Amino acid sequence: MTNMPDIKNRYYKSYNEINLHLPGLDLEWMKRLRDDAITQFHQDGFPDKSVEEWNVNSFKGLTDTFYSTQQENSYETDVPSIDKKDTDCLVRVIFNNGKIINIEHDELPTGIQVNTLNFFIKNNPDFLKEKIKPADEYSESRLSNIIDSRPQSIVALNAAFHEDGAIIHIDKNIEVPGYIELLHIGDYSDKTMKHIRSVIFIDKGSKCEVLENIQSHKNNNMIFTSNVTDIHLSDGASLSYNRFISGNSKNIHINNVHAQLDKNSTFISNSLINAKGQVRNEVRTNLLGEHCISNINVLMMGAKKSLHETLIKVKHATKNTKSKQVIRTILDESSRGSFQGKIRVEEGADGTLAEMSGKSLLLSNDARVNAKPELEILADDVKCSHGVTVGTLSKEQLFYLQSRGIPEHEARKLLINSFSNTIINNISNVLLKKAKNFILEDFNEND
Amino acid sequence: MTIALEIKDLHVEVNDKKILKGLSLNIEHGEMAAIMGPNGAGKSTLASVLAGKDGYNILSGSVKYLGKNLLDMPTDERAAAGVFLAFQYPVEIPGVATSTFVRTALNAQRRHRGEDELDAIEFLKLARAKAKELEMSEDFFKREVNVGFSGGEKKRAEIFQMSMLSPILAILDETDSGLDIDALKIVAEGVNKLRNDKLCGIVITHYQRLLEYLKPDTIHILADGKIVKTGDKSLALVLEEKGYQGIIEAA
């Protein structure tokens, strides 16, 4: 993936042309944040294969196509019909083409705020100032102590161009009744991009469940979207963060989550990715307080010519913290997948418990998967494990099922489901049905 | 008694090696036939060929089951027509609950036969009754298929599946291997409970021990790809005394 020579300049120029319309420019810190971010992107460009985190596959159409922020369609017109909000869903925020069209909720208990980035920019900018950090703070620090901003250049592009997002703010000691859904739908114009910036802050002792639901677009234009979400869990807080990501064959979606975990907090991240196009899922958790827990589960299901990538970085920054990563990849036809997972245990972070398991199932001779599990351990007293396997459907298992009267296509489905159940079983009851429908909806085995 | 299974002059090779060399065998409804023979004689090959496993090249001969050409039927259709193979090494299927597996199988077979599927409640009722007959705890319904099962549990789970699927032809491939004497008794009693006028069985074993409990009607000695001797259960005692070599030489 080499950058087209003037691609960086075109985004830079485009930023200077449109930046008057971007939200928050009247805030000095926000303007500086955006300006610095575009400068950083202008320097780095899109990450190429010389960047460790991006050295497996190339995203087609990312570095040789310019995506404009200008939509031909006016936002409010032709809002698609959407299913009714689930009864278990407390609040649903609907973004159409990246623009808020509705926040649906019944009476909200006090202490629960769910609104848009634009609303917070107008009403509570100081809250955002602490939570949305300058782009360079997302850089990777290498073992050689070099700070490398290149892997995060799409986060920088997002910081420069983001137009809206969802903000969830839960006060102390509240158990949010029902989940919060952030639903993204759209019918973007060809060669356009949209950047969404969201913040989730759960105060001490509170508990919350969120679903970020990124649906396929109605058309199949070339579209580049990025969602960046910053999560902060205070002492004893707990968040279950679920993402269902689909997309059409010409869509590129890059999704970044950065979570910061204070003392005794619990972060559960379940991602189901079932897209026909190219998706990259990045989750970085920073375990800052003692006895915090990070559980990250990912299911990637690819078919045709799709590309799914997951990058997970878990940083154990203090004593007695626990993390688990479970990644399952199922690839059919000529799809591609990759998983990179890194557990880093900082100096002095004794008592760390960390485990990682990545398994891939290839359903076709043309499917390819890459897996790179890594451990960087700078502490002495830790327990870390990692394991990666790649395989195909077992002939022995298929024969066993068939010998009991189960037809081959049904036997294959049963085995594929059993493989994905490792991830699906982590999903809470209120989202389970939706999750099962989601993986069935788009993933058709050739039968 | 009518003939359920008729194997005629069957020649089979695996990986270019001839294993079955003209095997003929008839089994009647209600008959329990034991097949014994030295290692490498082709006992497990016969079981696999009857169940429809891939990788076996049928060179010549025929297998008629209930009047139909068994070798033409895909594995799942054979099962729906009543063929059941109890595996020597039952396969583990992580992530699939035993009850889900058996229900999927039973309903697939019923669908194939044009019968109504059982709903979850009807299935559970049947499964409970069958488990009780086999003195099995219901806990294993929820457990993943054969995962973490002891040798005895695996074999008992096979017999449970057999009882749920009520086959017409049951092939028990070395069901006694890896079982201690108590587990062996339980498995054999389980099979005995399932015996009826219609069910015929092929019991493949190395040892006479299982036959003490199963009481076969006929015993067939399989050596070098052929049935070399057929007799009643007294043949097993002769075998115990003379060994395979003695019988093969005499034949």
**pLDDT given for residue A106 in this prediction:** 82
Residue A320 bridge partners (DSSP): none
**pLDDT given for residue A445 in this prediction:** 39
Instruction: For residue B215, tell me if it sits in a domain.
Output: no
**pLDDT given for residue A231 in this prediction:** 98
**What DSSP element (H or E) covers A211?**
strand A207-214
Provide the edge-to-edge strand list for the sheet that holds A382-391.
A99-105, A89-96, A179-185, A207-214, A238-245, A266-273, A293-302, A322-331, A352-362, A382-391
pLDDT tier, B95 (very low <50, low <70, confident <90, very high otherwise): confident
Write out pLDDT tens, residues A126-149: 999 989 999 999 999 888 889 999
B80, A418: Cβ pair inside 8 Å?
Answer: no
**A349: nearest Cα among A291, A295, A294:** A291
Distances (CA, A) of A161 to A66, A196, A280, A429, B2: 14, 9, 19, 37, 81
**pLDDT given for residue A355 in this prediction:** 97
Name the token pair of A157: 């592009």
Look up residue A291 and give its DSSP letter: T
Q: What is the reported pTM?
A: 0.88
Domain boundaries, chain A: 7-442
**pLDDT given for residue A290 in this prediction:** 98
Give yes or no for residue A444 having a pLDDT over 50: no
- Classified as helix, coil or strand, B51 is helix
Shortest CB distance from A406 goes to which of B52, B53, B76?
B76
Inter-chain CB pairs, A–B, below 8 Å: 76
Instruction: For residue B127, tell me if it sits in a domain.
Output: yes
Instruction: For residue B170, tell me if it sits in a domain.
Output: no
**pLDDT given for residue A1 in this prediction:** 56
In whole angstroms, give the CA distance from residue B50 to residue B96. 26
**pLDDT given for residue A442 in this prediction:** 53
**pLDDT given for residue A127 in this prediction:** 92
Task: Decide if B95 touches A, using CB distance below 8 A.
Answer: yes
Shortest CB distance from A400 goes to which of B80, B87, B102?
B87
Instruction: For residue B107, tell me if it sits in a domain.
Output: yes
Owner of token pair 């299901």: A301
Instruction: For residue B158, tell me if it sits in a domain.
Output: no
Give yes or no for residue A37 having a pLDDT over 50: yes
Write out pLDDT tens, residues B173-228: 998 887 888 888 888 888 999 999 999 999 998 878 888 888 899 999 999 999 99
Interface test with B, best of A403, A413, A414 (most B CBs within 10 A): A403
Task: Please state the ipTM of this predicted complex.
Answer: 0.96
Beta strand pairing call for B144-145 and B93-97: antiparallel
| DSSP state string for B84-149 | EEE-SSPPPEEEEEHHHHHHHHHHHHHHHTTPPPP-HHHHHHHHHHHHHHTT--GGGGTSEETTT-
- Please, are residues A222 and A190 in contact by the beta-carbon 8 Å criterion? yes
B54, A410: Cβ pair inside 8 Å?
Answer: no
Q: Which residue of A has its CA nearest to B110?
A: A405
Q: Which of residues 123-152 of B touch A (CB under 8 A)?
A: none
Average pLDDT in the A173-197 region? 95
Average pLDDT in the B116-129 region? 96
Write out pLDDT tens, residues B30-84: 999 999 998 889 999 999 999 999 999 999 999 999 999 999 999 999 999 999 9
Contacts of A414 in chain B (CB under 8 A): 96, 100-101, 104
Give yes or no for residue A407 having a pLDDT over 50: yes
pLDDT above 90: percentage of residues in chain A: 85
Write out pLDDT tens, residues A370-389: 999 999 999 999 999 999 99
**Rounded (5°) CA angle A167-A172-A177:** 70
Domain count, chain B: 1
**A240: nearest Cα among A253, A259, A227:** A259
Name the token pair of A357: 């398991």
**A344: nearest Cα among A382, A309, A370, A310:** A382
pLDDT tier, A78 (very low <50, low <70, confident <90, very high otherwise): low
pLDDT above 70: percentage of residues in chain A: 95
Domain holding B101, by residue range, is: 92-148
The one-letter amino acid at A30: M
Give yes or no for residue A182 having a pLDDT over 80: yes
C-alpha R_g of chain A: 21
